Amino acid sequence: MKKPIDDASSLQAINRRRDVRRKTLPALAQAGPVSVWMILFVTIPMLFIIYISFMSRGVFGDVVYEFSLESYQTLLDTTYFKVILKSLQVAVFTTVLCLGLGYPFAYYIARKPPEVASKLIMLIMIPFWTNSLMRLNSWLLLFQTSGPINTFLQWSGITDHPITFIYTDALVVLGMITNMLPFAVLPLYSTIEKLQKSLLEASSDLGATPVQTFLKVTLPLTFPGIFSAIILVFIPSLGIYTVSDVLGGGKVLYIGNIIKNQFGSIRNWPLGAALSVLLLVITGLLIFIYTRFAKLEDMEVV
Amino acid sequence: MKQLLTGILSLALVFSLAACSGGGGSATPAPNGGGSGNEAASTELNIYMWQQYISDQLISDFEAANNCKVNLSYMSDNADAITRLTAGGGQEYDLIMTCDAYMESLVAGDYVQKLNLDNIPNAGANINEAYWTAKDYCIPYLMNYIYVVYNTETCPIDITCYNDLLDPALKGQISTIDGARNLFPIALIALGYDPNSTEESEIAAAYEWLVKFNENVVAYGNAEQNLTNGTASVALTFDGNASWAMTEMGENNPLVVAPFTSDAVQLGFDLYVIPKGAAHVDLAEKFLNYICDPQVMAANLEEYPYSCPNDAAVAAASEAYRSDPARDFSYKENVFFQEDVGDALVIYNDYYQKLKVGE
């Protein structure tokens, strides 16, 4: 026998239960696992990094749990400022080049029929089937003093003595670009692909030259892709240390290498943590600026 | 199309992340060997050491003879081993490789176990006492001279002392080992100071020396590749790496050990310690005794031709090992050791950091 629902409070209780079933449970099931994951492996380690950045270092390279601002004072040293500036320069340079190379290529792919396009996208990914350290080491082999590129240059008479390519900033940037290019091409491709041809036709019907069409129609409409390409390339380029480690031979140092050294050979964890916090702040600032200019949902990856 | 792209992009992210985490290099610690009683012989041995530094054959022979499983984990830096020993977690390993410079602190900090040398008779019988620091706490494994080698065909000058390395003719020619406690002693000796100085003024002077040295450096690390592929004509490196490079150069090897006249070279030992709280001490002792056996070590030296403090093993080694040009130099006795510099380590590290960042 069904009990009639007469008073307001039991109605509320039923509504609440229904809400739990209809809203909370699905939300938990959908966002729960990833939240737990992020809290365990991102939030907590990050808080710990911030915590030890305010601690002191022991002589033996251990962390002494005493409050100290020493690490942040060290950061004020011009040495670190220069490294950060240099890292920012390289990251900007990498991003600009990735965009410059990636945009025309993404445009080219997007104008192909889907079957061809997917094959071309695949081509970009093929180098990524190997471990990135392998790829970096093969760059070293290619460019080393007795390597094929130097041999060719000498054979063809372009130079009479071998050129030192390896362990230079230029090779590091080359390595960065090859590592980052897919992160520029893929978001660019997905926005350019969505660009409606009719708009371009309309533009040219109304008398715009191809250059004008590109600047006034194509470029603004693909801004979301450009923005996400910038974010996806710039942020990893700022922190990456494997490329400069392998191709820079320990002579080319960026902020990522400095952080790695603090946790490794130099063993000054609080300073490493403070540098990581600084990197977080720079990244956070960039995301903030980005969200001021573009809506977050525009950050189109796919 | 979208799904394909999503898949591709996430794969790319995963790959690049996997590459980034490669530097960490810490292996998963193996759990306690089945939690069996203390009396039963252990069936598992966990060793933490340098990669590419012990013969696979030696390990598998030991496994077969003792019916056990040896788990090797590798460090990427001496500091890693120290972290394992001092920051907790040392008990996950039964043997940890470290070097002579750290022994004093490790013993003082009570991080390593005293060895029962009665259970390791081969060590007492074969290992040269002169190369055995902190005898009750460690077993020396191999040793390394850090010296200068150069290519007689491409190096523009003759090198007979550390100060020759500052010659402007060598610009971008030197491939050198890395690490504050490897580089600073060389500068200190060049300047006539104690290689283990704790005086800030002397370390600062050594820093200035190294800044000039740095201008001639083409790369830190990878000396053997850089010598063989022609990137560097001079290397400051370990004798084992020099040996490898000389072998690689083949018949008309142009690489020679620099004929130093008076400057001392660094000699360091890699040694095994048993961390406090190790679970399989019995098997660890058996292993140490095994590697101190002259025949076993001699076979290991064929594969890893480093200098060895085990005199009997060197005597038993092949002619090729004993006549290796990398160990053919006259100043083997003119060596210095890395000593514990105590609090001054912080000064070294700060100057080293400055050197690497380059002002």
Interface test with B, best of A142, A251, A258 (most B CBs within 10 A): A251
Q: Is residue B278 part of a domain?
A: yes
Tally the domains of chain B. Answer: 2
Q: Is residue B32 part of a domain?
A: no
Q: Is residue A40 part of a domain?
A: no
Chain B CB contacts of A249 below 8 Å: 218-222
Q: Is residue B21 part of a domain?
A: no
Here the tokens at position A83 are 């490294």
Residue B89 domain boundaries:
41-143+268-319
User: What is the ipTM metric for this complex?
Assistant: 0.75
User: What 3-state class would DSSP assign to B71?
Assistant: strand
Residue A226 domain boundaries:
77-298
Q: Is residue A225 part of a domain?
A: yes
Per-residue model confidence (pLDDT) at position B101: 84
B157 and B131 share one domain: no
Q: Is residue B13 part of a domain?
A: no
Give pLDDT tens digits for B232-246: 999 999 998 899 899
Per-residue model confidence (pLDDT) at position A66: 87
CB contact under 8 A, A60 and B105: yes
B178 and B310 share one domain: no
Q: Is residue A33 part of a domain?
A: no
Mean pLDDT score of chain A, rounded to an integer? Answer: 85
Per-residue model confidence (pLDDT) at position B186: 95
Measured CA to CA, the distance from residue B187 to residue B267 in angstroms comes to: 16
B119 and B213 share one domain: no
A156 or A21: which leads in pLDDT? A156
Q: Is residue A89 part of a domain?
A: yes
**pLDDT of residue A177 exceeding 70:** yes
User: What 3-state class would DSSP assign to B305?
Assistant: coil
Is B169 exposed, middle or buried (CB count within 10 Å of its CB: 0-12, 13-18, 19+)?
A: exposed
User: What 3-state class would DSSP assign to B47?
Assistant: strand
Q: Is residue B166 part of a domain?
A: yes
B198 and B129 share one domain: no
Q: Which of A83, A264, A267 sits opposite B357 (nearest CB)?
A: A83
B336 and B214 share one domain: yes
Spell out the per-residue pLDDT of chain B, length 359, in tens.
Answer: 455 555 555 544 444 444 443 333 333 344 444 334 445 678 899 999 998 899 999 999 999 999 999 999 998 777 788 888 887 767 789 999 998 888 888 898 889 999 999 999 999 999 998 888 888 999 999 999 999 999 999 999 999 999 999 999 999 899 999 888 899 999 999 999 999 999 999 999 999 999 999 999 999 988 888 999 888 999 999 998 899 899 988 888 999 999 999 999 999 999 999 999 899 999 999 999 999 999 999 999 998 888 999 999 999 999 989 889 999 899 988 999 988 887 888 899 889 888 887 75
Tally the domains of chain A. Answer: 1
B134 and B148 share one domain: no
Per-residue model confidence (pLDDT) at position A214: 87
Measured CA to CA, the distance from residue A90 to residue A84 in angstroms comes to: 10
Q: Is residue B180 part of a domain?
A: yes
B261 and B312 share one domain: no
Per-residue model confidence (pLDDT) at position B159: 94
B79 and B155 share one domain: no
Q: Judge whether A184 and A178 are in contact, CB under 8 Å.
A: no
Is residue B285 within a helix (H) or strand (E), and if so which, with residue range?
A: helix B281-291
A164-A184-A38 Cα angle (round to 5): 105
Nearest chain A residue to B356, by CA: A251
List, as ranges, residues 123-152 from A with C-beta within 8 Å of B: 125, 128, 131-133, 144-147
3-state secondary structure chain A: CCCCCCCHHHHHHHHHHHHHHHHHHHHHHHHHHHHHHHHHHHHHHHHHHHHHHCCEECCCCCEECCCCCHHHHHHCCHHHHHHHHHHHHHHHHHHHHHHHHHHHHHHHHHCCCHHHHHHHHHHHHHHHHCCHHHHHHHHHHHHCCCCHHHHHHHHCCCCCCCCCCCCCHHHHHHHHHHHHHHHHHHHHHHHHHHCCHHHHHHHHHCCCCHHHHHHHHHHHHCHHHHHHHHHHHHHHHHHCCHHHHHHCCCCCCCHHHHHHHHHCCCCCHHHHHHHHHHHHHHHHHHHHHHHHHCCHHHCCCC
Q: Is residue B111 part of a domain?
A: yes
- Min mean pLDDT across A6-10, A59-63, A66-70, B4-8 is at B4-8
Q: Is residue A56 part of a domain?
A: no
DSSP state of B317: S
CB contact under 8 A, B8 and A190: no
B311 and B341 share one domain: no
What CATH number does residue B125 fall under?
Answer: 3.40.190.10
Chain B CB contacts of A57 below 8 Å: 346
B189 and B280 share one domain: no
Q: Is residue B331 part of a domain?
A: yes
Per-residue model confidence (pLDDT) at position A299: 53
CB contact under 8 A, B9 and A301: yes
Give pLDDT tens digits for B12-69: 444 444 444 333 333 334 444 433 444 567 889 999 999 889 999 999 999 999 999 9
Interface test with A, best of B5, B13, B51 (most A CBs within 10 A): B5
DSSP state of B92: G
B158 and B208 share one domain: yes
Nearest chain A residue to B177, by CA: A250
B137 and B196 share one domain: no
**pLDDT of residue A176 exceeding 60:** yes
What CATH number does residue A104 fall under?
Answer: 1.10.3720.10
